[in-house]
Amino acid sequence: MTVAIVFALLVVGSVVFSLVSPWWFTPLASNWGTIDTTLIITFMITGVVFCALVLFMAYSMFRFRHREGIRAGYEPESGKLELWLTGLTSVGIAAMLAPGLVVWKDYVTVPPDAATVEVMGQQWGWAFRFPGADGVLGAVDPMRIDADNPFGLNPDDPHGGDDVLVEGGEVRLPVGKPVKLLLRSVDVLHDFYVPQFRAKMDLVPGMVTYFWFTPTVTGNFEILCAELCGVGHSAMRGTVVVVEPDAHQPWLDEYPTFAQAVRDTALAEAVRQGNSMNQ
């Protein structure tokens, strides 16, 4: 009897907690409201099933509690009950999965006008590459990655020279413009996640993954790595700053293109050699 009351109170407490809890989704800042909808549908269905099952257990504990002289009947099979339970479970599972299929189709269908930005993850930070004036990202090769060429760009590819390299963990994106993020990892599995955008995707060494979204709110949003990637995992953070469209290009212009970065490196080397000759 006591356990039955505890079970019933557990249900009441869970429902009350869900209704008054201050912990809920962060405010949405992208087009992916449908992802919230699918999560809420799942939350509702699992919540109703949780309440029904636990209340049923409480009822059974009370209704069929031990009483002198009463023996339990043994009924291992009930075709009718199994049919009902199988049917209801199937409907519940389908109701949880079907909306996700619709949203997933949108998630993997990139709008043709989406801008392309590359995100590069490595233990434990983020870097970004914009395709530059030609709109095409230059070819890369992991074997070329070194201190002077952190993105591993192939200097022979004419598309790479105007690529804009953004290091330092902060990237700015224009509000209202769809963007396709191409994700690659230098070392291990990472996962690019901005909670307010809802969208996320793994970075897998050896391949380029992607997802797209449209930022809908200006402001600063924290990038988290959502894949345990080593001792510095929790420090693998960055910032997406969503700005008005006019403010984006001036910001991008502050960063060097690959051609400039190469020239700067060569210049630095020349200066260094010149200094040592003067000494």
Can you give the binding site for Cu ion, defined by CB under 5 A? 190, 225, 229, 236
Give least dist CB 227 to Cu ion, A: 6
72, 64 Cβ separation under 8 angstroms = yes
Tell me the closest approach of the beta carbon of residue 228 to Cu ion, in angstroms: 8
CB closer to Cu ion, 236 vs 242: 236
Residue whose CB is less far from Cu ion, 162 or 191: 191
Q: Which is nearer to Cu ion, 120 or 225 (CB)?
A: 225
Measured in residues, the chain has a length of: 279
How far apart are CB 237 and Cu ion at their closest, in Å?
Answer: 10
Q: Tell me which residue of 155, 126, 130 sits closest to 140, measured CA to CA.
A: 155
Q: Which is nearer to Cu ion, 106 or 170 (CB)?
A: 170
Contact by Cβ (8 Å): 226, 201:
no
CB of 193 to Cu ion, least distance (A): 10
Closest approach of Cu ion to the CB of residue 224, in Å: 9
Instruction: Spell out the residues 6+ positions from residue 129 whose beta carbon is closer than 8 angstroms to its own.
Output: 117, 118, 120, 137, 151, 163, 164, 165, 166
Question: ∠ CA 265-268-270 to the nearest 5 degrees?
Answer: 110
The residue (of 201 and 229) whose beta carbon lies closer to Cu ion is 229
DSSP lists the bridge partners of residue 238 as 223
Q: Tell the smallest beta-carbon distance from residue 188 to Cu ion (Å).
A: 7
CB closer to Cu ion, 165 vs 236: 236
Q: How far apart are CA 176 and CA 40, in angstroms?
A: 25
- Exposure letters 37-75 (e unless 16+ CB within 10 A, then b): ebeebeeeeeeeeeeeeebebbeebeeeeeeeeeeeeee
Choose among 196, 187, 183: nearest CA to 129.
183
